[in-house]
């Protein structure tokens, strides 16, 4: 039997920047059994609004349900599945690598190739900062493993639409989803 590869969707949500909003989102996702592999939150360009990026595992039905259930939360202003849009995706990681003076040049060479930065140097370790898609971060971590990685910290995926339009403003026009979503004009 062929094991189907899991499907992943990138969803962004614009939410009210209020105490407890993350708890509401997390509570809903967990109680309804949705599998979120990645979640990042930060302020948006509009004061009072934050932007969340989720990576959801599941088929179209799951994504539609996640979207609708997110919309149902009063503090969620807009939700978009941007998987099929033209988007740029980035993740940042901090990687602490054991480094003896002898090993240091080899590490620096790899860092250069990946256009990453060394942001802290100590006698026995380096901290490397890298930005890119998950594949690039994974590859860097893989190459650094022989030097002994002491710690990694990854932000998770953030995504944005290419071009002049704001992320997630492209209207979904599927016949199956009469979302009746709030007007996008309400969001600057």
Partner 1 sequence: MQLTGAQIVCECLLREGVNVMFGLPGGAIMPFYQTLPEYPALKHILVRHEQNAGHAADGYARASGKVGVCVATSGPGATNLVTPLANAMMDSVPIIALTGQVPRAAIGRDAFQETDTTGITIPVTKHNYLAMHAADLPRIFKEAFHIARTGRPGPVLIDLPRDVLEETAEFDYPAEVRLRGYKPTPEGSGRMIKRAANLIDDSCRPIILAGHGVLISGASRELRELAEKAQIPVITTLLGISSFSSDHVLSMGMPGMHGQAHNNWAINKSDLIIGVGMRFDDRVTGKISTFAPGAKIIHIDIDPAEVGKNVRVTVPIVGDAQRVLRTLSKEVAATTRPDWLGEIDDLKARHPGMPTSDTSKILPQQVIRDLRSATMGEAIVVTGVGQHQMFAAQHYGFTEPNTWITSGGLGTMGFEVPAAMGAAVARPDMTVWSIAGDGGFQMTLSELATIVEQRLPVKFAILNNNSLGMVRQLQDLFYDGVRVATAYSGNPDFVKLAEAYGIWAIRVSDPALVRDSIDRANAVDGPTLIDFEIAPEENVYPHLPAGGTVSEMIEGPMESTGTIKKEAAAWLN
Return residues touching partner 1 (CB under 8 A).
Answer: 15-16, 19-20, 23-24, 27-28, 31, 49, 61, 64-65, 68-69, 71-78, 176-180, 182-183, 186-187
d(CA 167, CA 162) in angstroms, rounded, equals 8
CB of 75 to partner 1, least distance (A): 6
- Measured from the CB atom, the residue of 45 and 124 that comes closer to partner 1 is 45
- Measured from the CB atom, the residue of 43 and 162 that comes closer to partner 1 is 43
CA dihedral 149, 155, 159, 163 (to 10 degrees): -80
CB of 179 to partner 1, least distance (A): 6
CB of 14 to partner 1, least distance (A): 9
- Region of 48 on the Ramachandran plot (φ > 0 left; ψ -120 to 50 alpha; else beta): left
d(CA 46, CA 35) in angstroms, rounded, equals 29
CB of 133 to partner 1, least distance (A): 30
Neighbouring CB atoms inside 10 A of 114's CB total 18
């Amino acid at each position: 039997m062929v094991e189907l590869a899991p499907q992943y969707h990138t969803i962004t949500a614009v939410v009210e920047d209020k105490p407890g909003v993350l708890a509401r989102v997390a509570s809903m996702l967990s109680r309804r059994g949705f599998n979120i592999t990645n979640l990042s939150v930060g302020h948006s360009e509009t004061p009072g609004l934050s932007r969340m990026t989720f990576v959801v595992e599941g088929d179209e039905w799951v994504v539609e349900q996640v979207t609708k259930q997110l919309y149902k939360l009063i503090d969620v202003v807009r939700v978009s599945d941007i998987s099929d849009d033209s988007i740029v995706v980035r993740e940042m990681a901090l990687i602490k690598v054991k480094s003896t003076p002898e090993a240091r040049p080899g590490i620096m060479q790899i860092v250069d190739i990946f256009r990453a930065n060394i942001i802290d140097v100590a006698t026995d370790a380096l901290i490397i900062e890298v930005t890119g898609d998950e594949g690039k971060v994974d590859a860097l971590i893989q190459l650094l493993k022989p030097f002994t990685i002491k710690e990694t910290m990854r932000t998770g995926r953030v995504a944005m639409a290419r071009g002049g339009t704001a992320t997630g403003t492209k209207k979904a026009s599927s016949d199956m989803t009469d979302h009746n979503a709030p007007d996008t004009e309400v969001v600057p």
